[in-house]
Structure 1
């Protein structure tokens, strides 16, 4: 191992072990993002139609501690990816705050975000679409190094690119290739290398394995966990795969129609789900142990986010809903064991406890 690589590992280890002066590295408060999806003005005038506002994110709060993996789960269209884009600045919030180590970065200009952007990076769902097909790999990975002035000479840039490629399980010689010459899993490794090139502290991972084969998914997830331990990284992890979320997360937030239904430590959420929607999601996990556990049937479709229901957004599909649920929006309340649940039925004690649920099996190839 070269002296440079040894030095990098020592710095990374010191960074991971250093005491962080902030209890939370990222805190989101009252975050909202609305999109105007109305027809053109003239059409609305002629048809007498009102504006149509899509409430993609409708007021959420959560905090992420340094070094942990916080996951967001929920059905398609619930607002998970919008939250990811808000945090890294690809969208500006309609209201609310996003505090990174105590600094509110919501709505900052491109120039104001420049010093912070180096420490906040994103891994996208489709690795091929996020890599410039006309650039060689070495130029793709070197771009953050040059943009943030992290190297003193062209030779040092190339050396850092080679070390990053080695770090994600590729070879320095791969820098002379183009993205189309790699498989899907290898392209995601390139995306991770590019994200690490700016020496970030916080990575937003927007379904980083959903476009990959199952065996390759495990390889990428193992790589991400190893890098987290080695470099002291913090992850916001977004996924549909509940089995993966269960085994890579420290805490989980369950989103429904732009709102957080429940936030809890991973072991607690998967063993003792409170919110009826959380139970619905967990009931979709195959019961490989054939326990015969009764599952709660929930009918209906996800409501239109342009015209969400009053009160609790889940009440049209909830078997425990009453008049209060239909008229009053529930606020997340602590349950006393580390969870936050936004449910009137849980608050009033009229929803029975769910049976103890066994954790999903570890996905094949994923290190326990």
Structure 2
């Protein structure tokens, strides 16, 4: 990465939204006289990621994190908004023949290493597939050598090439997934909870490998997680999501040291800390509302101790307040 590229966003997401039609079949709706049901899984998300940096998206299950990940790699098309990758409209490019080049530069590591690897293929074929598919290398010694190098880059051995996924532990399988993602020499990796299915000790190994690879290859990461301890280890910036929207975006240290949004404070309060032994902690209050029928105004207001009439009626925009981007009327008005 040269000096001109430093500090320049590689990825720019603007007003990204995805709506799913989750209605009952047409005939059922006619008989029961029910309207169509739409689920706003992602509802106007905007952020930037600088080259060589990591943005982590955190939030409770069902907040839209994984939908954002799938939108970023083109597995879903957006309902609204879009993504610029290296000053190129990514979603427009994905639909064209040139989209193959873009897909080489953007890769994804999936959450479940047990489900994302074909159990009938040996490791050599799993990691070699992107190389063959993108025409980087065809069959032969060169392909074998490259697969061996990729395995070594994630702490495995070239001797593992003839083995099947079931012969590996969960952590080793996730390393194979990372090796496969790195095969096309991407610049941007979307990591959808890559360590959530692993034991804590194995999580640390996989995260350290990812940090080392980022340092060596200048990789840019979007890291999806619900584990704030993991996020603290890997992220440069953190975005907190709630019901499909970003409620706070801040540098990691600012977010952990001085969280602004009441939801961020509740998430951080729920983490046990040795130095705060004996201090009463505020558990995360209430349940996540039904996303098919979200609350009016600020969607967090039913669970928020600072909510007032404006919060119930008016949706707060994500804006720069106190040095961080936050969507909260209480912060804006200085009530917290």
> TM-score, length-normalised on structure 2?
0.96
1:234 aligned onto 2:225: no
Q: Which residue of 2 aligns with 1:12?
A: none
- Secondary structure of the residue aligned to 2:239 is strand
Q: Which residue of 2 aligns with 1:10?
A: none
Q: Which residue of 2 aligns with 1:47?
A: 32
Picking from 133, 141, 160, the partner of 1:155 is 141
Q: Which residue of 2 aligns with 1:69?
A: 54
Q: Which runs of 5+ in 1 are unaligned?
A: 1-15, 352-368
Q: Which residue of 2 aligns with 1:365?
A: none
Q: Which residue of 2 aligns with 1:309?
A: 295
Q: Which residue of 1 aligns with 2:313?
A: 327
Alignment of 1:24-173 (within 5 A): 24-106=9-91, 108-109=94-95, 111-151=97-137, 154-173=140-159
Query: Which has the larger displacement, 58-67 or 108-117?
Result: 108-117
Picking from 243, 246, 261, the partner of 1:257 is 243
Inter-CA distance 156–22: structure 2 relative to 1 (3 Å threshold): farther
In 1, Cα distance between equivalents of 2:330 and 2:126: 51
**1:44-65 deviation per Cα after TM superposition (whole angstroms, max 9, x unaligned):** 0111101111111011110000
In 1, Cα distance between equivalents of 2:141 and 2:41: 45
Shift of 1:19: 4.3
Alignment of 1:206-245 (within 5 A): 206-245=192-231
Query: Which has the larger displacement, 134-143 or 75-84?
Result: 134-143
RMSD across aligned positions (CA)? 1.6
In 1, Cα distance between equivalents of 2:91 and 2:279: 45
In 2, Cα distance between equivalents of 1:117 and 1:254: 27
**Is the CA contact (8 Å cut-off) linking 1:57 and 1:83 kept in structure 2?**
yes
In 2, Cα distance between equivalents of 1:333 and 1:267: 19
**Is the CA contact (8 Å cut-off) linking 2:22 and 2:37 kept in structure 1?**
yes
**Is the CA contact (8 Å cut-off) linking 1:298 and 1:318 kept in structure 2?**
no
**1:69-110 deviation per Cα after TM superposition (whole angstroms, max 9, x unaligned):** 100000000000000000001111111011111111125426
Point out 4+ residue stretches in structure 1 off by more than 4 angstroms. Answer: 16-19, 291-294
- Secondary structure of the residue aligned to 2:275 is coil
Inter-CA distance 341–167: structure 2 relative to 1 (3 Å threshold): same
Q: Which residue of 2 aligns with 1:278?
A: 264
In 2, Cα distance between equivalents of 1:153 and 1:53: 47
**1:223-273 deviation per Cα after TM superposition (whole angstroms, max 9, x unaligned):** 010010011101101111111101211000000000001000000000000
> TM-score, length-normalised on structure 1?
0.88
Shift of 1:21: 7.7
Query: Which has the larger displacement, 100-109 or 221-230?
Result: 100-109
Q: Which runs of 5+ in 2 are unaligned?
A: none
In 2, Cα distance between equivalents of 1:22 and 1:30: 22
Q: For this pair of structures, how many residues does the alignment match?
A: 335
